[in-house]
Structures are given as structure tokens and as C-alpha cells.
Amino acid sequence: MLLTTLILGVVLGGTYALLALGLTLQYGIARIMNLAYGELTLIAAFLLVWAFQGLGLSPLVAILLLAPAGYALGWALYTLMMRPLVKRSGASGRLEVDSILATFGLLFLIQGVLLLVFGPNFTSISYLDRGVSVLGVTVAANRLVAFGICLVAGTALVVALARTRWGLTLRAVALSPVSAPLVGINVDRAMRQGFALGSSLAAVAGGTLAMYQTFSATGGVVFTMKALVIVIMGGVGNVGGALAAGLALGLVETFVATAIDPGLTLAATFALFLIVLLWRPEGLFRRR
């Protein structure tokens, strides 16, 4: 029983970690608090289902296509919507409020489009839903594949951010957007890349969610909320922290769902959020 919860929790936590990684890139590097983030994951989830049922495309191929598509969408969103706000706010603190309001509007816009195109019903696909035994626990194969994708995508990103020159640039902008230009960094480009990369991760996470979960067009708020809470638990801009906190949330949620009630997963998220707020608002993994 405990082992089952542990393994299912880790598998779910993998998707959450990836989800939060994208959001922490958008908020940490581009300084955009994106409340429409969950809607971006839903677009990807619906597209994956449509490609699988309509075109017979394998979800693995679909996710390979979703990643660059998410990047392109993020790039366009940043250029068309966020950049004018960044320019308008300049050095004043208005960007945070403006980006919250603009993406709140975007949330309803995307939700409206999703409702119009895909309808209000819960959607799911049956893909690789036979059981596989892991350490004596039966886990659906689709969950394992999804976890593998998250593992690969997450690790690749962490390594790229830590080891490459490009990653160094992004980290420099995250640390101090004011001093980054002094060493010849194009801040505008780095911010756009950070936002686009975040959207790409949202798309991949949405694709993996669609492989094993049911979802509906109005459920984006819950995904955004979970990603936000993970980001705060891990410490804003802290990639390793987001990964660890994502796994932790997956575990807690699976535990609550099996031991108490599956209808209380958001309550579990909020409980964690409250603990973090009251105990360590700067994040669980940030050095003081």
C-alpha cells in the first residue's frame, strides 16, 4: 500500500515537476506571472487527443511536435502581448500587476476557444493502458512512458541551464536583469527565450498529462495553481527546487487521494501552500 502510493506519487510528481519548471522559467527569467499557464497545457492536451483520435498519430510523435509548437506559441505570445507591457512598465514595478491582469484575460480567451472547439466534456484517450509491474506494484504503462518523457525533458533542461553558455545567459538574466546588459547580454532576447521555453515545457507537460489523465476545458486553473504552488515551494527561479517540490506535491496528492478522498487534491495543494507561506515563504530549498 505504502509502496504503491510512493511509486504512483513519484510518477505523478514527474509531470508536476515539468509543469512547474516551465512556469518558473517564465516567472524567473521573463518576469511574467502567467495565470494562463494551465490553459497552455490544456491546448497541448487537447491537440494530443485530437492527433491521436483524428489522425492516428502516436502520442510520442505528437509530443515531439508539441514541444516546438509550444515554443513558437510562447514566442508569439511574448512578442505580441508581453513585450509591450514590459516596455511600458520600464523600471517601475507595474509589470507584475499588468502581466497578472493581461494573462487573466488571456485565460478566459483561451478557455473560450477551447470550449468552442472541443466542447465542455471530460476527455481522455486509452493509450498503453495495460499494467506493468514495478517493484511488485502494478502501474499503467502510459504513466511510466509519461514519467520517462518528463524525466528526459527535465534532465535535459537542467543540464542545459547548468552547463551551456546559453543556460548561463538565461541564469544571468534571471539573477539580475539590470546588470545583465553590462556584460553584453541581450536581455530582451533572453526573456523571450525564457518565456517561449516555459510554454514549450507547458506543452510537453500537457501532452504527457493527456496520455493518462482525464481533463476538461475548464480545468486549467487547477494546473496553474499547482504549478504556482510548486514554484513557490521550490523558490522562484530555482530549477532544482521546482523539481523536488513537484515530486513532493505528486506524493502528497497521491497520498491524500488514496488515504482520504480523491476529491480533495486541490485542498492538499493549498495545505502545502499554507505551510510554506507560514513557515518558509522564500521557498523550502533556498539558502537564507
Report the distance separating Cα 96 and Cα 82, nearest Å: 11
Site membership for another protein, residue 116 (CB under 8 A): yes
Report the distance separating Cα 114 and Cα 253, nearest Å: 27
Reference 210, options 22, 19, 36; nearest CA is 19
Stretch that binds another protein, among 46-54, 70-78, 100-108, 123-131 (CB under 8 A): 100-108
C-alpha grid cell, residue 215: 481533463
Beta strands in 89-231 (DSSP E): 131-134, 137-140
Report the distance separating Cα 194 and Cα 27, nearest Å: 9
Report the distance separating Cα 20 and Cα 245, nearest Å: 9
Site membership for another protein, residue 37 (CB under 8 A): no
CB nearer to another protein: give 7 or 229.
Answer: 229
Binding mask 254-283 for another protein (x = CB under 8 A): -------x-xx-xx-xx--xx--xx--x--
Site membership for another protein, residue 252 (CB under 8 A): no
CB nearer to another protein: give 11 or 106.
Answer: 106
The one among 101, 151, 156, 160 contacting another protein by CB under 8 A: 101
Stretch that binds another protein, among 62-70, 78-86, 123-131, 139-147 (CB under 8 A): 78-86
CB nearer to another protein: give 94 or 163.
Answer: 94
CB nearer to another protein: give 164 or 214.
Answer: 214
- Counting residues that bind another protein (by CB under 8 A) gives 43
Smallest separation (angstroms) from another protein to the CB of 270? 5
CB nearer to another protein: give 228 or 239.
Answer: 228
Report the distance separating Cα 214 and Cα 225, nearest Å: 18
Surface-to-core class of residue 10, CB atoms within 10 Å of its CB (0-12 exposed, 13-18 middle, 19+ buried): middle
Smallest separation (angstroms) from another protein to the CB of 233? 12
Whole-number Cα distances in Å, 236 to 24, 278, 284: 6, 17, 10
Site membership for another protein, residue 170 (CB under 8 A): no
Stretch that binds another protein, among 4-12, 112-120, 153-161, 208-216 (CB under 8 A): 112-120
Looking at residues 192 to 251 of the shown chain, list those that interact with another protein (rule: CB under 8 A): 221-222, 224-225, 228-229, 232
Report the distance separating Cα 154 and Cα 143, nearest Å: 16
Site membership for another protein, residue 60 (CB under 8 A): no
Q: Which residues 6+ apart lie within 8 Å of 146 measured at CB?
A: 11, 14, 15, 208, 209, 211, 212
Report the distance separating Cα 234 and Cα 65, nearest Å: 29
Smallest separation (angstroms) from another protein to the CB of 228? 5
CA atoms lying within 13 Å on the CB side of residue 20: 32
Summarize as ranges the residues that interact with another protein (CB under 8 A): 33, 35, 81, 84-85, 88, 96-98, 100-102, 104-113, 115-116, 221-222, 224-225, 228-229, 232, 261, 263-264, 266-267, 269-270, 273-274, 277-278, 281
